[in-house]
Structures are given as C-alpha cells and as structure tokens.
Chain A
Amino acid sequence: MQIISQVLFLIALVVGIGFFIRNIRRLLRNIKLGKEVDRSDNKGERFAKMARIALGQSKMVKKPVSGFLHVIVYVGFIIINIEVLEIIIDGLFGTHRVLSFMGGFYNVLIASFEVLALLVLIGVIVFWIRRNILNIYRFLSRELKGWPKNDANYILYFEMVLMVLFLVMNATDYQLQLNGAPHYASEAGITGSFPISQFLLPIFEGMSNATLIIIERAAWWLHILGILFFLNYLYYSKHLHILLAFPNVYLSKLQPQGEMNNLQAVTDEVKLMMDPDADPFAAPAEEEEGAEPDKFGASDVFDLNQVQLLNSYTCTECGRCTAECPANQTGKKLSPRKIMMDTRDRLEEVGEIINTKGKYEDNGKQLLDDFILREELWACTTCNACVEACPVGIDPLSIILDMRRYLVMEESAAPNELAIAMTNIENNGAPWPYNQQDRLNWAKEN
C-alpha cells in the first residue's frame, strides 16, 4: 500500500514538473520571437535594483494596504515552500515529517508556517473583497471583464483552498499524534507545533483514527497536487509574475525614465544624408539587394524586443499603471495595463499557431488595430506615470512609442494636427508656423 502511494506520488511529481518545463520552454520560445536587446551591462546595478524592487517589494508598499497584504502573501508563499520540500521527501520515501530531526527548530518552523498560513488566508480574503465588493478604480476597467477577472478570482480561491488544506492536514496529524496512532506518533513526544491548527481539533473530536488518516492523507495529497496544478496554471494565468518579476526587474531600463532609445537604423540613414562625401547616385550594396529594408517601429509582436515581450508575460494585471495614467483617469480609452495584456494575448495567439503548425503562418491579424487601437496610442502623454507605478519594472510606454513610430514612419498616419506640427518643425524649426529668423524677437519686445 505504502509503496503504491510512493509510486503514485513520483508519477504526479514527474508529470507536474514535466508539464511545467514544457510551459517554460514555450514561454522562452515565444519571447525569443522578439528582437534581441542587449541588457548585459551594469550587472551590479541590475542585481541591486532586482533586490530592492522584486525581492524587497519596495514599489509594492507605495500603496500601503495592498502592499502590506502582498508582502504577507509573498513571504508566506516563499516560507511555506520549505514545507513543500518536506512534503516531497515524505511523499517519495514514505516518511513522516522527515525534517523533524531538527527538533526545537522544526517546531518553530511549523509554528511559523501555521501563523503565515492564517495570515495568507486573511490577506487573500481581503484581496477577494477588494476585487469583488469594494469599488476600486483599477479593478473596474473594461479590460478586466470576463477571463481576466475570473482568472484573478481562481487564483485567490486556489490560495484559500491550499491554506485551508495545509491547516487541516496539520490539525488531523496533530490529533493522530495525540491519539498515539502508529506512523504518526513518536516516542519523543509531539512532532511539530500547531499554534493555529490546534483550534481546529474540536472539529475532528471523536473521529476514529481510520477516518482521521483518510482526512489527513486527503488533505496532504490535495495540497501537493494543488501546488503542482498551480505551478502549471501559472502559464495560462496572469500569475507568472511570481517567477518573472525577478528577471523582468533585472532586465528593466536603467537610464533616466525620460530617455527614449534612438533608433540605430534611423541614425545610419541620417548620417548618410548629412555626409557630404556620400555619392547620391550610388547603387545599393550588393548583399542588400532584395533584402527587406528595416521596418521602423512596431505593428506586431515580432517588431517588439524580447524585454517588452517578457514584460507582457510578467504583468499581473494589478492596474497600478492604469490608475496613475492621466489619459485613463480622464476617460480616454488608453490603459497601459491593456497594452500589456493585448501584447501577451497576441503573443499567445502567435505561439498557439506555432504549437499546431510548427511555424507561424499569417492569420490575418496583428497587434496594431486587432488588439491595440490607434486611439489608445495617441492618447498617451509619455508622462512615465505607468512606468513609475509598476511594481515589477514593466515599461508600457516603450511599446506605445514603438507603435507610434510604426504609425508615423511606415504609414504616415499621425493625427492631422500632429502632422502639421511635425511639418512646421521640419520647415521652420518649431512646432508652430513661426519663422526661424524671428526666434530672437522676444529679446527686443518689451
């Protein structure tokens, strides 16, 4: 009996982790559809930023209520995972609480897991209330209707169930130890310390050891199977941030927020134009013939860079960006969160085509127009509030800018007034139609 359970556990573990590895490979494959970008510089500074923002949650706590609750769930998640290690060893080798050799320290560990489990449970319940009952601006946006809202709630239900299972498992284990049940009880006394689950004991009072063992085993199995399921749910949900927040912050831009990248392809062309020695009648170089010229800006996910695509997978749809966006606050269609969700949705669509057909075949869609609307792109003031607000270093503005570049440089599709301003800059060096020769007139006026 025992050996069957161990074998089943091994199978569950291999299948769970196997699927997880498959998902991660797909994720990396999809990210690599983007353009390469070199972020191998300033390793020390990048590590420090990651430690501060991802590990240290420094931006999360800028909103004190959700920040504090998130820190609890985050710490709980990390620390309770030590317990998962024990569950895996127990499952594989049929042991009971194998880490208990640590003695007094083990009791401290189990006690802290229990306290954290309760705090996580409370935190997650408050999160659910915030999402579903309180009218919080950033949870009411139109892009959250349907799957994104359900997804968020499933994750919360999942965490609630996992925490309850953990506490039930401990309570029944404790009761079995008190009953002196074989395999559970130890001559050395009670293994573990149960400051929270002890209060559940009255529920199990009067149950036979056989019933208790069934409940304890069921809770134990469901807990670990639940964790394995959750690990695989990540890829299909908005919850990947628990893994990707770290590389995402590490790879985020280090320059001042106001600095926007200069396109090298444009620099090369401008240099050529301004070079007095360039031969205006020169034929294009041999190897360039037939080659497609560089596309300016982005109209689909392939035109974005790999960090921007990683950004889209990292987004957990918290909406802090959207809540800070001046365009969104004044009723415009632009929502930086939607920019990230759309990018990911399109990337997933492309990935799905590759999964079934082996390579990408045009399905008549692209990121621009089919997902992100021009009206959204033109509403941006480039104020960087979204970038500043993101707790995990996502840069929605860089995607907006790249898509504007496509609209202007490939399609000449700027809004009319902007096109006029640009013509003015080109003709007379100012966005308004004033003569450059009048630029110093102010000095003579009183």
Chain B
Amino acid sequence: MAEALKVPTMAEYMAEGKKPEVLFWVGCAGSFDDRAKKITKAFVKLLHEAGVDFAVLGTEESCTGDPAKRAGNEFLFQMQAATNIEVLNGYEIEKVVTACPHCFNTIKNEYPALGGNYEVMHHTQFLKSLLTEGKLKVEGGKFKGKRITFHDPCYLGRANGEYEAPRDLLRKLEVELVEMRKCKSNGLCCGAGGGQMFKEPEPGNKDVNIERTEQAMEVKPEVIAAGCPFCNTMMTDGVKGKNKEDSVEVMDVAELIANAHDL
C-alpha cells in the first residue's frame, strides 16, 4: 500500500513553535484495537483530505478514565483526569475532537470541574462542521442507495443529545437511511458501556449485543453504521453471532465517508 499516514504529534508541533487548530484525541480503542485502528486511520485520512491542521498526543495520551469512573473507581478516574489535564493544559489545547463517544463525554462534561476546559467535539460533529464550511465534500459514491441503519452510541445520543450529526452525514452519502424501532433517545445500548466491555456479562438469557443486532436485522440493512469503537466491536460480534457477516457490514460513519471517497 501507499506510504504510512502522516500523523503529527503535539510534541512535534511544540518543537516547531506551532499550535494545531485541533487535537485529535485517539483514545485507547482507537490506538490499540485492530478494528478501531481502521476507524482512526479513516478519520485521519478525512482530516488530511479537508486540510485540517491537527495533531495527536501519541505516547503522551492516556485513558480518560471513563471505564474506571463508571465501574466505580472514582479515584483512578480522577488520577487519569488530573494527568491528562496537565498534559492538555501544558500544550494549551483549546479544541479536541475524538472518534470515541466515551472520551468525548468524559472530556467534555467531567474534565471542566477538574480544571480542563476545552471545546470538545465528536468526530461526526466535526465532520459535519467541515462539510458545512465546505472543506469536506461528502458524496454517495459506492454507498449511494444502500440500506443503512445507524446505531446511536449511548454516550453520544442520550448522554449528550447528539442524534443528527451522524445521520446528516449518512444522508449526504445518499444512502437509504432506515431507523430501528429503538433509536435516538430510545436507542438500545450495545452492551459495552459502564465497564461491561472488559468483563463477562452477568447471568441472563441473552447478550445485549445480540438483542441489539436482532433489532438492527429487523430493518434488513446492508450496513450497520456506528459512531463508537466499542459499539462497533459489539455489533460486529453480534452480526457474526447471527452468521450474517457476509451480507451485513458494521462500519463507522468516518469509514463510510472515507470509503465513498476511495481514500
């Protein structure tokens, strides 16, 4: 394939005495999870395409503390927050964009009271703003007319009231956007939140991601669009569990746009 992606770090910017307009907060999943790394790269390609002046923290980034906080470890969360805020404030960061709704929620809502005040955007919101500003063109390409349903991430939707940005982007792709019976504020969780991603579920009669995948299958989509690396994993597993991986793809909104552009 082509040469490696150009991903500038804050340290490099600092060395040159410059400041990027936005910090891309990659998150743990986006950095380490093989599936989520593809989302990260797709988003970076879009940032380059739109000519956005951005940087990442790279090895200076650390977990926001979201899973620790929701699991009850407030102490670890605040330790993580304090360290991250120190790094972010050290670089005088003003604007943060992230492809993970959990990082988004934590930095946007829980860091300010601890001394971290930034303008924080989810990548679908950021892409939409690039679109509005005319920096990014989103066209149907190979997804035109495809039947796509969007699974609302809890920490983007209910938690922060953002339902439209990802849908607006999908509409721009000229797809046939279909809604599950449980969507937007009534959306069903994928089962990963609150630390569940890292543990076995409690005894029950079904896994949450299977229930959600079944709801998605009801509308017979060709693609299940997601906006969260954890939802992506859960829905991908759900689709595999239903032996539908040949006919139904699970893709992040950023990947859909990047693929439509053949990036």
Residue from A334, A405, A421, A442 whose CB has the most chain B CB atoms within 10 Å: A442
Contact check, B109 vs A332: say whether CB atoms are below 8 A apart: no
* A383 CB-CB contact with B under 8 Å: yes
Contact check, B74 vs A263: say whether CB atoms are below 8 A apart: yes
Contact check, A414 vs B72: say whether CB atoms are below 8 A apart: yes
Point out the residue from A378, A381, A440 that lies within 8 Å of B56, measured CB to CB. Answer: A440
Q: Give the shortest distance, in Å, between A395 (CB) and chain B (any CB).
A: 13
**Which residues of the partner chain B approach A334 to less than 8 Å between Cβ atoms?**
202
* A208 CB-CB contact with B under 8 Å: no
Q: Give the shortest distance, in Å, between A374 (CB) and chain B (any CB).
A: 10
| A388 CA to B182 CA, complexed, in Å | 13
Residue of chain A at shortest CB distance from B3: A446
**Which residues of the partner chain B approach A408 to less than 8 Å between Cβ atoms?**
71-73
Q: Which of B47-63 contact A (CB under 8 A)?
A: 56, 58-59, 61-63
Q: Which of B132-158 contact A (CB under 8 A)?
A: 154-155, 158
* A259 CB-CB contact with B under 8 Å: yes
* B67 CB-CB contact with A under 8 Å: yes
Q: How many residues of A contact B (CB 8 A)?
A: 70
* B241 CB-CB contact with A under 8 Å: no
* B238 CB-CB contact with A under 8 Å: no
Q: Give the shortest distance, in Å, between B57 (CB) and chain A (any CB).
A: 8
* A418 CB-CB contact with B under 8 Å: yes
* A138 CB-CB contact with B under 8 Å: no
Given contacts A270-B75, A425-B80, A430-B28, contact A384 B203 (CB under 8 A): no
Contact check, A383 vs B158: say whether CB atoms are below 8 A apart: yes
Contact check, B75 vs A381: say whether CB atoms are below 8 A apart: no
Residue of chain B at shortest CB distance from A403: B72
Contact check, B67 vs A296: say whether CB atoms are below 8 A apart: no
**Which residues of the partner chain B approach A327 to less than 8 Å between Cβ atoms?**
202, 204, 208
Contact check, A426 vs B189: say whether CB atoms are below 8 A apart: no
Point out the residue from B189, B200, B202 that lies within 8 Å of A383, measured CB to CB. Answer: B189
Residue of chain A at shortest CB distance from B106: A258
| A273 CA to B59 CA, complexed, in Å | 23
Given contacts A331-B204, A440-B7, contact A421 B189 (CB under 8 A): no
**Which residues of the partner chain B approach A437 to less than 8 Å between Cβ atoms?**
59
B interface bracket (residues with beta carbon within 8 Å of A): 35 or more
| A257 CA to B101 CA, complexed, in Å | 13
Given contacts A330-B211, A381-B189, A429-B63, contact A418 B201 (CB under 8 A): no
Residue of chain A at shortest CB distance from B62: A429
Residue of chain A at shortest CB distance from B2: A446
| A332 CA to B161 CA, complexed, in Å | 27
User: 1/0 contact trace for A387-416 toward B, CB 8 Å?
Assistant: 110000000000001011111110000110
User: 1/0 contact trace for A233-273 toward B, CB 8 Å?
Assistant: 00000000000000000000001111110110011011101
Q: Give the shortest distance, in Å, between A416 (CB) and chain B (any CB).
A: 8
| A378 CA to B189 CA, complexed, in Å | 15
| A440 CA to B40 CA, complexed, in Å | 11
Residue of chain A at shortest CB distance from B57: A439
Residue of chain B at shortest CB distance from A430: B28
Contact check, B67 vs A421: say whether CB atoms are below 8 A apart: yes
Contact check, B196 vs A381: say whether CB atoms are below 8 A apart: yes
**Which residues of the partner chain A approach B204 to less than 8 Å between Cβ atoms?**
327, 330-332, 379
Contact check, B73 vs A422: say whether CB atoms are below 8 A apart: yes
| A334 CA to B76 CA, complexed, in Å | 26
Q: Give the shortest distance, in Å, between B141 (CB) and chain A (any CB).
A: 22
Contact check, A446 vs B4: say whether CB atoms are below 8 A apart: yes
Residue of chain B at shortest CB distance from A408: B72
* A289 CB-CB contact with B under 8 Å: no
Point out the residue from A260, A333, A425, A440 that lies within 8 Å of B202, measured CB to CB. Answer: A333
Point out the residue from B67, B82, B110, B192 that lies within 8 Å of A425, measured CB to CB. Answer: B67
* B20 CB-CB contact with A under 8 Å: no
| A429 CA to B194 CA, complexed, in Å | 18
Residue of chain A at shortest CB distance from B199: A417
Residue of chain A at shortest CB distance from B200: A417
Given contacts A326-B211, A431-B198, contact A256 B161 (CB under 8 A): yes
Q: Give the shortest distance, in Å, between B68 (CB) and chain A (any CB).
A: 5
Q: Give the shortest distance, in Å, between A437 (CB) and chain B (any CB).
A: 5
Q: Give the shortest distance, in Å, between B232 (CB) and chain A (any CB).
A: 15
Contact check, A430 vs B191: say whether CB atoms are below 8 A apart: no
Residue of chain B at shortest CB distance from A441: B31
Point out the residue from A255, A382, A409, A436 that lies within 8 Å of B73, measured CB to CB. Answer: A409
| A326 CA to B158 CA, complexed, in Å | 14
Contact check, A256 vs B159: say whether CB atoms are below 8 A apart: yes
Contact check, A432 vs B32: say whether CB atoms are below 8 A apart: yes
Contact check, B65 vs A425: say whether CB atoms are below 8 A apart: yes
| A444 CA to B44 CA, complexed, in Å | 13
Point out the residue from B76, B109, B192 that lies within 8 Å of A381, measured CB to CB. Answer: B192
**Which residues of the partner chain A approach B44 to less than 8 Å between Cβ atoms?**
443
* B69 CB-CB contact with A under 8 Å: yes
Contact check, A383 vs B37: say whether CB atoms are below 8 A apart: no
Contact check, A381 vs B205: say whether CB atoms are below 8 A apart: no
| A426 CA to B76 CA, complexed, in Å | 7
Contact check, A326 vs B191: say whether CB atoms are below 8 A apart: yes
* B127 CB-CB contact with A under 8 Å: no
Q: Which of B206-246 contact A (CB under 8 A)?
A: 206-208, 210-212
Given contacts A383-B194, A444-B4, contact A409 B75 (CB under 8 A): yes
* B41 CB-CB contact with A under 8 Å: yes
| A89 CA to B95 CA, complexed, in Å | 66
**Which residues of the partner chain A approach B1 to less than 8 Å between Cβ atoms?**
446
Point out the residue from B7, B72, B82, B207 that lies within 8 Å of A405, measured CB to CB. Answer: B72
**Which residues of the partner chain A approach B197 to less than 8 Å between Cβ atoms?**
431
Q: Give the shortest distance, in Å, between A252 (CB) and chain B (any CB).
A: 15
| A203 CA to B191 CA, complexed, in Å | 60
Contact check, B185 vs A388: say whether CB atoms are below 8 A apart: yes
Residue of chain A at shortest CB distance from B196: A381
Q: List 25 A-B contacts (CB under 8 A).
A: A262-B110, A263-B78, A270-B79, A271-B82, A296-B74, A297-B74, A330-B206, A333-B202, A381-B194, A382-B195, A383-B158, A384-B154, A401-B70, A405-B72, A409-B74, A418-B71, A421-B198, A421-B199, A422-B71, A425-B76, A432-B32, A442-B32, A443-B4, A443-B56, A445-B37
Q: A258-B160, A262-B113 are in contact. List 14 more A-B contacts (CB 8 A).
A: A256-B159, A258-B159, A297-B74, A324-B186, A326-B212, A329-B211, A330-B206, A380-B194, A408-B73, A418-B195, A422-B67, A429-B62, A431-B67, A432-B32
What 7 pairs between A and B have smallest CB-CB spacing?
A: A258-B159, A404-B72, A429-B62, A331-B205, A382-B194, A331-B204, A383-B189
